[in-house]
Amino acid sequence: MPVQFSVFEAALKPSEFAALQQCLRALIDEGEDTVCFYSLSPGCQKVHLGVVGALSNLLLV
């Protein structure tokens, strides 16, 4: 099965981040697709939509 990993970087206000998540949630198939968000600010929290753990073997360096 082909897999495409795309990485995008954006500096978003909290309202823009919420709007982006809402738009993407409407576009993806949450039973098959995975979209991950990584906050690069202190605390580095991860927020994802769709299949949990689909990228568990992915190492980002």
Predicted local confidence at residue 20, as pLDDT = 93
Predicted local confidence at residue 11, as pLDDT = 77
Among the listed residues 21, 26, 18, 23, the one whose alpha carbon sits nearest the alpha carbon of residue 48 = 21
Predicted local confidence at residue 30, as pLDDT = 87
Angstrom distance (rounded) from CA 4 to CA 14: 27
pLDDT digits over 1-26, tens only? 456 678 787 878 889 999 999 999 99
The residue assigned the tokens 């600010």 is 41
- DSSP characters over 23-56: HHHHHS-TTT-EEEEE--STT--EEEEESTTTTT
- Confidence band for 42, pLDDT divided at 50, 70 and 90: low
Predicted local confidence at residue 61, as pLDDT = 39
Predicted local confidence at residue 34, as pLDDT = 85
Q: How far apart are the first and last CA of the chain?
A: 25
